[in-house]
Amino acid sequence: MSRKRYELRQTPDDQWGLYKSGADRASKKFETKEEGLEFSRGYVRAQGNSQLIVKKTDGTVQTEHTYDNDPFPPPG
């Protein structure tokens, strides 16, 4: 089963948006990054086998949260 991926990143209008991987439009927007993070963690976790990638204002990855079947670290 493939993992659903979401990103929390800054929108062009300087808000924060939750994007499904590959989407050009945010599913939901937030005034602050903290509001977005609070909502997104619960929403993405409820999706089952999923991952939330949180980005900084410059677009680089700040942190990742993987829920349910996390293949890392590999067994062994």
**Per-residue pLDDT, 74:** 62
pLDDT tens digits, 10-65: 999 999 999 999 999 999 999 999 999 999 999 999 999 999 999 999 999 999 99
φ, ψ for residue 12, nearest 5 deg? -60, -25
Q: What is the pTM of this model?
A: 0.86
**Could you give the count of Cα atoms lying within 13 Å of 44 in the half-sphere of its Cβ?**
28
Ranges of each domain in the chain: 4-67
Task: Give Cβ neighbours of residue 28 (< 8 Å, ≥ 6 apart).
Answer: 17, 18, 36, 39, 43
Distance of CA 9 to the CA centre of its chain: 8
Task: Give Cβ neighbours of residue 69 (< 8 Å, ≥ 6 apart).
Answer: 1, 3, 49
**Per-residue pLDDT, 71:** 62
